[in-house]
Protein backbone atom coordinates (compact mmCIF):
# COMPACT_ATOMS: atom_id res chain seq x y z
CA UNK A 1 0.00 0.00 0.00
CA UNK A 2 0.97 3.64 -0.46
CA UNK A 3 2.47 5.70 2.36
CA UNK A 4 -0.42 7.46 4.12
CA UNK A 5 1.75 10.53 4.71
CA UNK A 6 1.83 11.09 0.95
CA UNK A 7 -1.95 11.11 0.59
CA UNK A 8 -3.10 14.49 -0.78
CA UNK A 9 -5.63 14.92 2.01
CA UNK A 10 -2.97 14.22 4.64
CA UNK A 11 -0.53 16.68 3.09
CA UNK A 12 -3.24 19.33 2.94
CA UNK A 13 -4.37 18.71 6.52
CA UNK A 14 -0.82 19.07 7.85
CA UNK A 15 -0.28 22.24 5.81
CA UNK A 16 -3.57 23.76 6.97
CA UNK A 17 -3.25 23.13 10.71
CA UNK A 18 0.31 24.48 10.57
CA UNK A 19 -1.02 27.60 8.88
CA UNK A 20 -3.76 27.91 11.50
CA UNK A 21 -1.15 27.80 14.25
CA UNK A 22 1.01 30.36 12.46
CA UNK A 23 -2.01 32.67 12.21
CA UNK A 24 -2.28 32.59 16.01
CA UNK A 25 -5.67 30.89 15.91
CA UNK A 26 -4.66 27.75 17.81
CA UNK A 27 -2.58 28.47 20.88
CA UNK A 28 -1.21 25.50 22.87
CA UNK A 29 -3.65 22.63 22.17
CA UNK A 30 -6.51 24.93 21.20
CA UNK A 31 -8.58 24.14 18.10
CA UNK A 32 -9.45 21.04 16.14
CA UNK A 33 -10.17 19.97 12.57
CA UNK A 34 -11.96 16.96 11.08
CA UNK A 35 -12.17 15.88 7.45
CA UNK A 36 -14.64 13.42 5.95
CA UNK A 37 -12.83 10.93 3.71
CA UNK A 38 -14.05 8.60 0.97
CA UNK A 39 -13.49 4.92 1.64
CA UNK A 40 -11.69 4.52 -1.69
CA UNK A 41 -9.20 7.22 -0.72
CA UNK A 42 -8.51 5.53 2.60
CA UNK A 43 -8.23 2.03 1.12
CA UNK A 44 -5.32 3.13 -1.09
CA UNK A 45 -3.23 3.63 2.04
CA UNK A 46 -4.73 1.56 4.88
CA UNK A 47 -6.31 -1.81 5.57
CA UNK A 48 -9.82 -0.61 6.34
CA UNK A 49 -10.77 -3.93 7.96
CA UNK A 50 -8.07 -3.84 10.63
CA UNK A 51 -8.47 -1.50 13.60
CA UNK A 52 -5.69 -0.57 16.00
CA UNK A 53 -8.30 -0.18 18.74
CA UNK A 54 -11.88 0.89 19.28
CA UNK A 55 -12.95 4.07 21.07
CA UNK A 56 -16.40 4.81 22.44
CA UNK A 57 -17.58 8.20 21.22
CA UNK A 58 -20.22 8.95 23.84
CA UNK A 59 -22.84 9.98 21.29
CA UNK A 60 -25.02 8.59 18.52
CA UNK A 61 -24.89 9.68 14.87
CA UNK A 62 -26.58 7.00 12.74
CA UNK A 63 -26.28 9.13 9.58
CA UNK A 64 -22.48 8.91 9.87
CA UNK A 65 -22.30 5.16 10.39
CA UNK A 66 -19.49 3.64 8.33
CA UNK A 67 -17.92 7.00 7.43
CA UNK A 68 -14.20 7.76 7.71
CA UNK A 69 -12.66 10.86 9.27
CA UNK A 70 -9.18 12.31 9.56
CA UNK A 71 -9.18 14.22 12.85
CA UNK A 72 -6.81 16.08 15.16
CA UNK A 73 -6.04 14.65 18.59
CA UNK A 74 -6.98 15.77 22.07
CA UNK A 75 -4.32 17.70 23.95
CA UNK A 76 -2.20 17.98 20.80
CA UNK A 77 -0.42 21.12 19.66
CA UNK A 78 -0.96 22.15 16.05
CA UNK A 79 2.65 23.33 15.88
CA UNK A 80 3.78 19.69 16.28
CA UNK A 81 1.57 18.12 13.61
CA UNK A 82 4.04 18.69 10.78
CA UNK A 83 6.80 16.93 12.73
CA UNK A 84 4.85 13.99 14.20
CA UNK A 85 1.60 13.57 12.27
CA UNK A 86 1.16 9.94 13.36
CA UNK A 87 0.94 11.10 17.00
CA UNK A 88 -1.16 14.21 16.51
CA UNK A 89 -3.64 12.98 13.88
CA UNK A 90 -5.82 9.90 13.50
CA UNK A 91 -8.08 8.25 10.95
CA UNK A 92 -11.22 6.63 12.34
CA UNK A 93 -14.27 4.87 10.98
CA UNK A 94 -17.56 5.30 12.84
CA UNK A 95 -19.58 2.16 13.55
CA UNK A 96 -22.49 1.14 15.79
CA UNK A 97 -24.50 4.16 14.68
CA UNK A 98 -21.63 6.49 15.49
CA UNK A 99 -21.20 5.19 19.05
CA UNK A 100 -17.86 3.52 18.25
CA UNK A 101 -14.83 4.86 16.41
CA UNK A 102 -12.46 2.24 14.98
CA UNK A 103 -8.95 3.72 14.89
CA UNK A 104 -7.26 2.76 11.62
CA UNK A 105 -4.18 4.96 11.83
CA UNK A 106 -2.55 7.55 14.09
CA UNK A 107 -2.67 8.55 17.77
CA UNK A 108 0.34 6.28 18.05
CA UNK A 109 1.16 7.45 21.57
CA UNK A 110 -2.15 6.02 22.82
CA UNK A 111 -3.95 9.33 22.45
CA UNK A 112 -7.49 10.02 21.39
CA UNK A 113 -9.46 12.25 19.04
CA UNK A 114 -10.24 15.84 20.02
CA UNK A 115 -12.54 16.43 22.99
CA UNK A 116 -14.73 18.37 20.56
CA UNK A 117 -15.33 15.20 18.51
CA UNK A 118 -19.07 15.14 19.38
CA UNK A 119 -19.49 18.73 18.18
CA UNK A 120 -17.58 17.92 15.00
CA UNK A 121 -19.58 14.82 14.15
CA UNK A 122 -22.93 16.42 14.93
CA UNK A 123 -21.94 19.38 12.76
CA UNK A 124 -20.84 17.06 9.94
CA UNK A 125 -24.24 15.36 10.06
CA UNK A 126 -26.03 18.72 10.02
CA UNK A 127 -24.01 20.14 7.15
CA UNK A 128 -24.30 16.98 5.05
CA UNK A 129 -28.07 17.35 5.26
CA UNK A 130 -27.68 20.83 3.76
CA UNK A 131 -24.71 20.20 1.44
CA UNK A 132 -23.83 16.57 0.60
CA UNK A 133 -20.39 17.76 -0.54
CA UNK A 134 -19.40 19.22 2.82
CA UNK A 135 -16.17 17.62 4.08
CA UNK A 136 -14.62 19.89 6.70
CA UNK A 137 -15.41 21.07 10.21
CA UNK A 138 -12.84 23.50 11.63
CA UNK A 139 -12.69 25.02 15.10
CA UNK A 140 -10.21 27.62 16.30
CA UNK A 141 -9.77 30.69 18.52
CA UNK A 142 -9.21 33.79 16.35
CA UNK A 143 -8.37 36.67 18.70
CA UNK A 144 -10.48 39.41 17.16
CA UNK A 145 -13.67 37.39 16.79
CA UNK A 146 -13.26 36.25 20.37
CA UNK A 147 -12.69 39.84 21.54
CA UNK A 148 -15.70 41.02 19.57
CA UNK A 149 -18.00 38.74 21.59
CA UNK A 150 -17.10 40.72 24.73
CA UNK A 151 -18.07 44.13 23.39
CA UNK A 152 -20.72 43.49 20.72
CA UNK A 153 -24.28 42.29 21.12
CA UNK A 154 -24.57 38.56 20.38
CA UNK A 155 -27.70 39.10 18.32
CA UNK A 156 -26.96 37.16 15.12
CA UNK A 157 -28.44 39.72 12.78
CA UNK A 158 -26.53 42.60 14.32
CA UNK A 159 -23.30 40.61 14.62
CA UNK A 160 -23.54 39.64 10.96
CA UNK A 161 -24.40 43.15 9.80
CA UNK A 162 -21.39 44.54 11.63
CA UNK A 163 -19.04 42.07 9.96
CA UNK A 164 -20.61 42.67 6.55
CA UNK A 165 -19.93 46.40 6.93
CA UNK A 166 -16.28 45.93 7.87
CA UNK A 167 -15.10 44.72 4.48
CA UNK A 168 -16.52 44.64 0.97
CA UNK A 169 -15.85 40.92 0.58
CA UNK A 170 -17.67 39.76 3.73
CA UNK A 171 -21.20 39.54 2.33
CA UNK A 172 -19.80 37.87 -0.77
CA UNK A 173 -17.88 35.22 1.21
CA UNK A 174 -20.55 34.47 3.82
CA UNK A 175 -23.89 35.81 2.52
CA UNK A 176 -25.81 33.57 4.93
CA UNK A 177 -24.20 35.46 7.80
CA UNK A 178 -22.76 34.25 11.07
CA UNK A 179 -24.66 32.36 13.76
CA UNK A 180 -23.76 32.89 17.42
CA UNK A 181 -23.97 30.79 20.57
CA UNK A 182 -23.73 32.26 24.07
CA UNK A 183 -20.95 30.91 26.29
CA UNK A 184 -21.35 27.19 26.99
CA UNK A 185 -19.14 24.50 28.50
CA UNK A 186 -17.00 23.08 25.69
CA UNK A 187 -16.44 19.41 24.90
CA UNK A 188 -20.01 18.40 25.75
CA UNK A 189 -22.83 16.86 23.74
CA UNK A 190 -24.93 19.90 24.64
CA UNK A 191 -22.68 22.38 22.85
CA UNK A 192 -22.33 19.89 20.01
CA UNK A 193 -26.09 19.71 19.55
CA UNK A 194 -26.45 23.50 19.76
CA UNK A 195 -23.67 24.03 17.21
CA UNK A 196 -25.15 21.47 14.82
CA UNK A 197 -28.50 23.24 14.97
CA UNK A 198 -26.81 26.53 14.07
CA UNK A 199 -24.89 24.81 11.25
CA UNK A 200 -28.16 24.15 9.44
CA UNK A 201 -28.45 27.81 8.50
CA UNK A 202 -24.86 29.10 8.36
CA UNK A 203 -21.34 27.82 7.70
CA UNK A 204 -19.89 29.93 10.52
CA UNK A 205 -20.89 29.57 14.17
CA UNK A 206 -19.29 31.81 16.77
CA UNK A 207 -18.85 30.46 20.30
CA UNK A 208 -18.96 33.55 22.51
CA UNK A 209 -15.83 34.08 24.61
CA UNK A 210 -14.30 30.98 23.02
CA UNK A 211 -13.86 30.85 19.25
CA UNK A 212 -15.55 29.87 16.01
CA UNK A 213 -16.66 26.85 14.00
CA UNK A 214 -16.42 26.90 10.23
CA UNK A 215 -17.21 24.29 7.61
CA UNK A 216 -16.79 23.73 3.91
CA UNK A 217 -16.26 21.39 1.01
CA UNK A 218 -12.50 21.86 1.26
CA UNK A 219 -9.96 22.92 3.86
CA UNK A 220 -9.38 26.09 1.86
CA UNK A 221 -13.08 26.98 1.94
CA UNK A 222 -13.41 26.50 5.70
CA UNK A 223 -10.13 28.32 6.36
CA UNK A 224 -11.10 31.17 4.05
CA UNK A 225 -14.48 31.64 5.73
CA UNK A 226 -12.88 31.99 9.15
CA UNK A 227 -10.07 34.15 7.77
CA UNK A 228 -12.54 36.58 6.21
CA UNK A 229 -14.74 36.82 9.32
CA UNK A 230 -11.66 37.30 11.50
CA UNK A 231 -10.44 40.15 9.26
CA UNK A 232 -13.84 41.81 9.62
CA UNK A 233 -13.65 41.43 13.40
CA UNK A 234 -10.12 42.84 13.43
CA UNK A 235 -11.25 45.98 11.61
CA UNK A 236 -14.21 46.32 13.98
CA UNK A 237 -12.01 46.06 17.07
CA UNK A 238 -9.70 48.73 15.65
CA UNK A 239 -12.45 51.27 14.95
CA UNK A 240 -15.30 50.48 17.38
CA UNK A 241 -14.15 53.17 19.84
CA UNK A 242 -13.65 55.83 17.16
CA UNK A 243 -16.11 58.21 15.46
CA UNK A 244 -17.33 56.48 12.27
CA UNK A 245 -17.27 58.95 9.38
CA UNK A 246 -17.84 56.47 6.53
CA UNK A 247 -19.39 53.04 6.24
CA UNK A 248 -20.72 50.41 3.84
CA UNK A 249 -24.45 51.04 3.75
CA UNK A 250 -27.28 48.58 3.20
CA UNK A 251 -27.69 50.11 -0.25
CA UNK A 252 -24.04 49.30 -0.94
CA UNK A 253 -24.51 45.73 0.29
CA UNK A 254 -27.48 45.31 -2.05
CA UNK A 255 -25.24 46.46 -4.91
CA UNK A 256 -22.71 43.77 -3.94
CA UNK A 257 -25.49 41.17 -3.95
CA UNK A 258 -26.36 42.15 -7.49
CA UNK A 259 -22.76 42.37 -8.68
CA UNK A 260 -21.70 38.97 -7.35
CA UNK A 261 -24.97 37.08 -7.67
CA UNK A 262 -25.21 36.54 -3.91
CA UNK A 263 -28.19 37.02 -1.65
CA UNK A 264 -27.71 38.15 1.92
CA UNK A 265 -29.64 36.29 4.60
CA UNK A 266 -33.34 37.07 4.46
CA UNK A 267 -34.29 39.96 6.71
CA UNK A 268 -30.71 41.00 7.50
CA UNK A 269 -30.64 44.02 5.17
CA UNK A 270 -33.00 46.99 5.21
Q: How many CA atoms lie within 13 A of 39 on its CB side?
A: 8
Quote the CA–CA distance of 170 and 165 in Å, as a whole number: 8
Does the domain formed by 1-115 have CATH 3.40.225.10?
yes
pLDDT, the chain, mean: 96
Quote the CA–CA distance of 221 and 236 in Å, as a whole number: 23
Question: What is the reported pLDDT for 236?
Answer: 98
CATH class of the region 121-264: alpha beta
Could you check whether 1-115 and 121-264 share the same CATH topology? yes
Q: Is the pLDDT of residue 37 over 90?
A: yes
pLDDT, one tens digit per residue, over 60-78 is 899 999 999 999 999 999 9
Of 109-123, 167-181, 224-238, the poorest mean pLDDT is in 109-123
Q: Find the angle CA(146)-CA(249)-CA(149) to the nearest 5 degrees.
A: 10
**Given 84, 86, 116, 234, which residue is catalytic?**
116
CA dihedral over 253, 227, 203, 6, signed as positive or negative: positive
Quote the CA–CA distance of 157 and 186 in Å, as a whole number: 24
Average pLDDT over residues 20-41: 96
pLDDT, one tens digit per residue, over 250-270 is 999 999 999 999 999 999 999
Q: Is the pLDDT of residue 1 over 90?
A: no
User: How many CB atoms lie under 10 A from the CB of residue 143?
Assistant: 16
User: How many CB atoms lie under 10 A from the CB of residue 22?
Assistant: 11
pLDDT, one tens digit per residue, over 216-233 is 999 999 999 999 999 999
Beta strands in the chain (DSSP E): 32-37, 53-56, 68-72, 89-95, 100-106, 136-140, 179-181, 204-207, 211-216
pTM value? 0.95
Quote the CA–CA distance of 144 and 238 in Å, as a whole number: 9
Q: Find the angle CA(169)-CA(194)-CA(106) to the nearest 5 degrees.
A: 85
Question: What is the reported pLDDT for 134?
Answer: 97
Quote the CA–CA distance of 138 and 44 in Å, as a whole number: 25
Average pLDDT over residues 134-158: 98
pLDDT, one tens digit per residue, over 84-94 is 999 999 999 99
Of 237, 216, 75, 219, residue with least CA distance to 142? 237
Percentage with pLDDT > 90 across the chain: 97
Question: What is the reported pLDDT for 187?
Answer: 87
Sheet holding 204-207, edge to edge: 53-56, 100-106, 89-95, 68-72, 32-37, 136-140, 211-216, 204-207, 179-181
In the chain, what are the domain boundaries? Answer: 1-115, 121-264
Q: How many CA atoms lie within 13 A of 239 on its CB side?
A: 16
| Under 8 Å between Cβ of 181 and 194 | yes
Average pLDDT over residues 51-66: 93
Asked if 227 is an active-site residue, the reply is no
194 confidence band (pLDDT: 50, 70, 90): very high
Do the bridges between strand 100-106 and strand 89-95 make them parallel or antiparallel, or are there none, so unpaired? Answer: antiparallel
Instruction: Report CA dihedral (258, 262, 268, 270) to the nearest 10 degrees.
Output: 0
Average pLDDT over residues 19-40: 96
234 confidence band (pLDDT: 50, 70, 90): very high
Amino acid sequence: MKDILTAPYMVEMIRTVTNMYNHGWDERNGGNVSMLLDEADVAEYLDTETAIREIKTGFSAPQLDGKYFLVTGTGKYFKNVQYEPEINLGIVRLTDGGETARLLWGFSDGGNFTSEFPAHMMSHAARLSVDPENRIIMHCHPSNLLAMTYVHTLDEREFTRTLWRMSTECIVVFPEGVNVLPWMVCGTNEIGEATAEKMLTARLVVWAQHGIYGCGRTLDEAFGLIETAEKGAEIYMKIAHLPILNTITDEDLHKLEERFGQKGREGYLD
